[in-house]
Amino acid sequence: MAKVAEAKIRTESQKLFSQAKKYIPGGVNSPVRSFKSVGGNPVFISKASGPYLYGEDGKRYIDYCLSWGALILGHADLEVIKKLKEVISKGTSFGAVTKLETELAKLIVEAVPSIEQVRLVNSGTEAVMSAIRLARAYSGKTKIIKFEGSYHGHADYLLAKAGSGLATLGIPNSRGVPSDFTKHTITLDFNNLKAVQKTAEKYSKDLAAIIVEPVAANCGLILPQEGFLQTLRKIADKYNIVLIFDEVITGFRVCYQGAQGFLGVKPDLTCLGKIIGGGLPVGAFGGKKEIMKLLAPLGDVYQAGTLSGNPLAVTAGIATLKKLNNRKIYENLERKAKELCEAIKVISRKNRVNLEINYISSMFSVFFTKGKVIDYKTAQAQDLTIFKKLFQGLLREGIYFSPSGFETNFLSIAHTKEIIEKTLQVFSKLLKK
Which amino acids are annotated catalytic?
151, 246, 274
By CB under 6 A, residue 283 contacts ligand PLP: yes
Residues 109-148 that bind ligand PLP (CB under 6 A): 123-125, 128
Kindly state the smallest distance separating residue 94's Cβ from ligand PLP, in Å: 22
CA torsion sign, 363 to 367 to 372 to 375? negative
Tell me the residue nearest to ligand PLP as measured from the CB: 124
Q: Which residues contact 116 (CB under 8 A, 6 or more apart)?
A: 109, 286, 287, 288, 289, 292
Cβ count near 213 (within 10 Å)? 25
Residue count, binding to ligand PLP (CB under 6 A): 16
Please choose, out of 161-169, 189-197, 242-250, 254-262, the segment that lies near ligand PLP by the rule CB under 6 A. 242-250
By CB under 6 A, residue 246 contacts ligand PLP: yes
Query: Helix, strand, coil shares of the chain as percentages rounded to 5?
Result: 40, 15, 40
Distance CA 251, CA 236 (A): 21
| CB nearer to ligand PLP: pick between 41 and 123 | 123
Kindly state the smallest distance separating residue 250's Cβ from ligand PLP, in Å: 8
| CB nearer to ligand PLP: pick between 235 and 249 | 249
Question: In the set 20, 115, 221, 248, which binds ligand PLP (CB under 6 A)?
Answer: 248
Question: In the set 273, 287, 309, 311, which binds ligand PLP (CB under 6 A)?
Answer: 273
In DSSP terms, 186 is beta-bridged to: 145, 169
Kindly state the smallest distance separating residue 93's Cβ from ligand PLP, in Å: 19
Kindly state the smallest distance separating residue 128's Cβ from ligand PLP, in Å: 6
Kindly state the smallest distance separating residue 359's Cβ from ligand PLP, in Å: 17
Residues 141-180 that bind ligand PLP (CB under 6 A): 151-153
Kindly state the smallest distance separating residue 366's Cβ from ligand PLP, in Å: 19
Q: Nearest Cα to 126, choosing from 265, 393, 341, 313?
A: 313
| CB nearer to ligand PLP: pick between 101 and 126 | 126
CA distances from 203 to 142, 145, 167, 240 (A): 10, 10, 9, 11
Helix and strand totals (H; E) in the chain: 14, 16
Where helices occur in 273-383 by DSSP H, the ranges are 289-292, 311-324, 327-350, 376-380
Where in 140-282 does DSSP place strands (E)? 143-147, 160-161, 171-172, 185-188, 207-212, 242-246, 269-272
**What secondary structure does DSSP assign to 36-102, as a single string?**
TTT-SPPPPEEEEEBTEEEETTS-EEEESSTTTTT-TT-BT-HHHHHHHHHHHTT-S--SS--HHHH
Cis before residue 297, ω within 30 degrees of 0? yes
| CB nearer to ligand PLP: pick between 72 and 128 | 128
By CB under 6 A, residue 407 contacts ligand PLP: no
| CB nearer to ligand PLP: pick between 151 and 239 | 151
Write the burial class of residue 37 (CB in 10 Å: 0-12 exposed, 13-18 middle, 19+ buried).
middle
Interior CA angle at 192 toward 361 and 344, to 5°? 35
By CB under 6 A, residue 317 contacts ligand PLP: no
End-to-end CA distance of the chain: 22
Kindly state the smallest distance separating residue 97's Cβ from ligand PLP, in Å: 23
Where in 137-287 does DSSP place strands (E)? 143-147, 160-161, 171-172, 185-188, 207-212, 242-246, 269-272, 283-287
| CB nearer to ligand PLP: pick between 74 and 273 | 273
| CB nearer to ligand PLP: pick between 42 and 283 | 283
Please choose, out of 71-79, 84-92, 102-110, 211-219, the segment that lies near ligand PLP by the rule CB under 6 A. 211-219
Q: Nearest Cα to 87, choosing from 304, 318, 247, 340?
A: 318
Please choose, out of 19-27, 210-218, 311-319, 423-431, the segment that lies near ligand PLP by the rule CB under 6 A. 210-218
Kindly state the smallest distance separating residue 408's Cβ from ligand PLP, in Å: 9
| CB nearer to ligand PLP: pick between 207 and 249 | 249
Please choose, out of 18-26, 113-121, 171-179, 212-220, the segment that lies near ligand PLP by the rule CB under 6 A. 212-220
By CB under 6 A, residue 258 contacts ligand PLP: no
Which residue type occupies 292?
M
Residues 40-69 that bind ligand PLP (CB under 6 A): 68
By CB under 6 A, residue 213 contacts ligand PLP: yes
By CB under 6 A, residue 249 contacts ligand PLP: yes
The residues binding ligand PLP (CB under 6 A) are 68, 123-125, 128, 151-153, 213, 217-218, 246, 248-249, 273, 283
